[in-house]
Amino acid sequence: MIIMKIKTNTDICLYIDESGDLGLNGSKYFILSLVILEKKDEINLKKIIKSMRKNKFKKELKIHKEIKSNKTSEKLKKYLLNEIGKLELKTYSIILEKRKNKQLITNNKYHEIYLKLILKLLNHLNLNKSFNLKIDRCINRNYQDIFNTTLIKSKDNILNITHSNSEKFIGIQIADIISGAVLKKVRDKDNSYIKIIEKNHEIIEK
């Protein structure tokens, strides 16, 4: 785990996870999703997951340490999205259709594309409060320092950046579920997942 530029504590944390890949071959879309959580939201989410593990999805979640879009059941994902909707969390996704962005993918390394997409999301939010940023560990360790430094220079209200396995943070898992829901929408023309949280979710396209 890498943490940078710790100034002080904050009650706001942004979690980011992705769906798809950034190669010219492979997935048609790359989707990055962001979830804004205040401390009270994290407490409520942990209660929801704890209840799911003890009751309705006890058997399924006994097998999985974390909730992932490509591993958990349709029933669980839709249930969780409904619970997220009740909390009225603010969530955002950016869709990169790779066919239309070949030059971006060809001329940039993975971490550079990832950085551009995160900055587009953060600039769209225009969040004027300080926040912590937690990202699923997908950036090569050799590039994490330059990635963090560039991001912090671009957005001086970032208090610290953490690259971590998604199982450590429920917020990253929620971002993963949302990315999967958006992928269903654009790839499979299935709106049933993202529709559950559409009032509190915004999609932007690259």
The answer to which of 58-67, 116-125, 150-159 has the lowest mean pLDDT is 58-67
What pLDDT, on the 0 to 100 scale, is given for residue 32?
96
Neighbouring-strand partners of residue 90: 36
Per-residue pLDDT averaged across 172-192, rounded?
95
Closest by CA to 33, choosing from 121, 109, 102, 119, is: 121
Q: pLDDT band for position 206 (50/70/90)?
A: low
Name the phi and psi angles at 191, rounded to 5.
-90, 0
Per-residue pLDDT averaged across 169-182, rounded?
95
Q: Encode pLDDT of 35-77 as tens digits.
A: 999 999 999 999 999 999 999 999 999 888 789 998 999 999 9
Name the phi and psi angles at 113, rounded to 5.
-65, -45
What is d(CA 174, CA 166) in angstroms, rounded to the nearest whole number? 10
Which class for 46: exposed (0-12), middle (13-18), buried (19 or more C-beta within 10 A)?
Answer: exposed
Q: Quote the DSSP letter at residue 156.
A: T
Q: Encode pLDDT of 80-90 as tens digits.
A: 999 999 998 99
Compute the mean pLDDT over every residue in the chain, rounded to the nearest whole number.
91
pTM of the model: 0.91
What pLDDT, on the 0 to 100 scale, is given for residue 1?
39
What is d(CA 62, CA 74) in angstroms, rounded to the nearest whole number? 17
Q: Name the CATH superfamily, with its identifier, for domain 2-205.
A: Ribonuclease H-like superfamily/Ribonuclease H (3.30.420.10)
Q: What is the C-alpha end-to-end distance of the chain, expressed in Å?
A: 29
Concatenated DSSP letters of 101-148:
GHHHHHHS-HHHHHHHHHHHHHHHHT--S-EEEEEES-S-HHHHHHHH
Domain ranges for the chain: 2-205
Q: Strands (DSSP E) along 156-200, which ranges?
A: 158-164
The answer to which of 6-10, 17-21, 93-97 has the lowest mean pLDDT is 6-10
Residue 190: helix, strand or coil by DSSP? coil
